[in-house]
Amino acid sequence: VTRSIGVAVGDRPYDVLIGRGLISETGARLAPRLERPFAPIVTDEIVASLWLEPLAASLAAAGIAAPTIVLPAGEQTKSFDGLAGLCDRLLNLEVERTDHVIALGGGVIGDLTGFAAAIIKRGVDFVQIPTTLLAQVDSSVGGKTAIDTPQGKNLVGAFHQPRLVLADLAALETLPRRELACGYAEVVKYGLLGDAGFFAWLETNGAAVLAGEAGAVEAAVARCVEMKAQIVAEDERENGARALLNLGHTFGHAVEALNGFGEAVKHGEAVGLGCVLAFEFSQALGLCDAHDVERTRAAVGAAGLPVRLSQVFAAPPQAEALIAAMAHDKKAIGGALSFVLARGIGEAFVRKGVAREPLRDFLIGVGAAP
Ligand SMILES: NC(=O)c1ccc[n+]([C@@H]2O[C@H](COP(=O)([O-])OP(=O)(O)OC[C@H]3O[C@@H](n4cnc5c(N)ncnc54)[C@H](O)[C@@H]3O)[C@@H](O)[C@H]2O)c1
Ligand SMILES: [Zn+2]
């Protein structure tokens, strides 16, 4: 059974299909949309070894020529160098505006391929085939594309919506446990930001999701995509409601930055901890009660994700260094700190212009060095 969720953005609405075996159906689903039987594939080495064969076979069976570009796996591929190389190769293939470039992989491949598609010939079409939980519930939907620069993550990019997203749940079966947990942090985030019922469902069914139980995984991915689709349709360019998706990301960004954006602390791990910190900070500001903070900590911790600063720093980080990293987040306006806070589970809101003193006191209270 395949679910279809529409993303109603402006003049280019598209569908996110969620189901098992979609990779093998790509050729049949794409063929009627193409103006010529040609669809280059962009993927990384790890995903290529696992999932390229069924995709290539399905495209071949539909008579679609699919030259493949295989890039190194890892965040460093999302760079100016990676972008230049990818653009060069796609242009050498003489890709045309109506061709659909296929991004097969996690958020790195999706973000990079989407950005290349946004700028090549001022925009060629592309299709997302997300293969990580994080990419299925978050990065493949909504049209944010970007690369990293030495100044920080995702600082150069564009809004460019895909034509279609095929979230094949079977792909998650080969995903390492740590990557699954990272995606799960974003899943918990959706419950925390706007759906207390879904959060309660996760308290009961989260273990089944993490164990890869098919029905549970499908239900979780579908609910997250529904929420993201709705938020993005309301606010494609993040002038309002879309900012709620950054719950846990301001604290998380600081944790990632001070850990060098590397393998030590992955994005999803930082987001899980960031969600706990956002709820703790909300409690410290008198917005949210201790019970909801405890439930947040339990849900994040159940996935084996960090819930305390001491789990991601060998020595306590300086509070001021954390605050400085938060102020460098691209969502900061005029250096003023903006946070997604909560009045309770499922009741997040954006607070702009948060003063530094209470933030500093809070960080010291949760283990940062004064
Ligand atoms: N555009 C957005 O809205 C948005 C949202 C959230 C995150 N992001 C970006 O997404 C990126 C993180 O995405 P990610 O966590 O998917 O990372 P990733 O793409 O690096 O994938 C993680 C690892 O899993 C491997 N992998 C992928 N699919 C696999 C599979 N099915 N089986 C086995 N291994 C597999 C990859 O090769 C990689 O080593 C970051 O760059 C982040 O900035 C973008
Ligand atoms: Zn995220």
- pLDDT at site 335: 65
Q: What are phi and psi of 40, to 5 degrees?
A: -65, 145
- Nearest to residue 358, comparing CAs of 343, 335, 337? 337
Ordered mean pLDDT values, 10 residues apiece, the chain (370 residues): 92 96 98 98 98 98 98 96 98 98 98 98 98 98 95 93 98 97 98 98 98 97 98 92 95 94 93 98 97 98 98 97 87 78 97 92 97
The verdict on whether 356 is a catalytic residue reads no
Q: Which residues line ligand 1 (CB under 6 A)?
A: 44, 46-47, 50, 73-75, 78, 105-109, 111, 131-132, 134-135, 138-139, 142, 144, 153-154, 171, 174-175, 179, 182, 267
Exposure on the CB side of residue 211, measured as CA atoms within 13 A:
9
The verdict on whether 253 is a catalytic residue reads yes
**Cα 107 to ligand 2 centroid, rounded to whole Å:** 10
**Pairwise CA distance, residues 183 & 295, whole Å:** 19
Nearest CA to ligand 1 atom 5: 139
SS3 266: coil
- pLDDT at site 262: 84
- pLDDT at site 330: 66
Nearest CA to ligand 1 atom 2: 139
**Cα 61 to ligand 2 centroid, rounded to whole Å:** 36
Query: Sign of dihedral through CA atoms 31, 40, 43, 141?
Result: negative
The verdict on whether 308 is a catalytic residue reads no
Q: What are phi and psi of 12, to 5 degrees?
A: -130, 60
Nearest CA to ligand 1 atom 6: 139
- Ligand 1 pocket test, candidate residues 45, 52, 134, most atoms within 8 A of CB: 134
Q: Which of 75, 179, 186, 236 is catalytic?
A: 186
Q: Which of 144, 153, 160, 297 is catalytic?
A: 144
**Pairwise CA distance, residues 246 & 327, whole Å:** 14
- pLDDT at site 1: 67
The verdict on whether 122 is a catalytic residue reads yes
pTM: 0.97
- pLDDT at site 239: 86
- pLDDT at site 10: 86
pLDDT tens digits for range 186-224: 999 999 999 999 999 999 999 999 999 999 999 999 999
What is each CA distance from 356 to 327, 332, 339, 360, in whole angstroms? Answer: 10, 13, 12, 6
The verdict on whether 328 is a catalytic residue reads no
The verdict on whether 144 is a catalytic residue reads yes
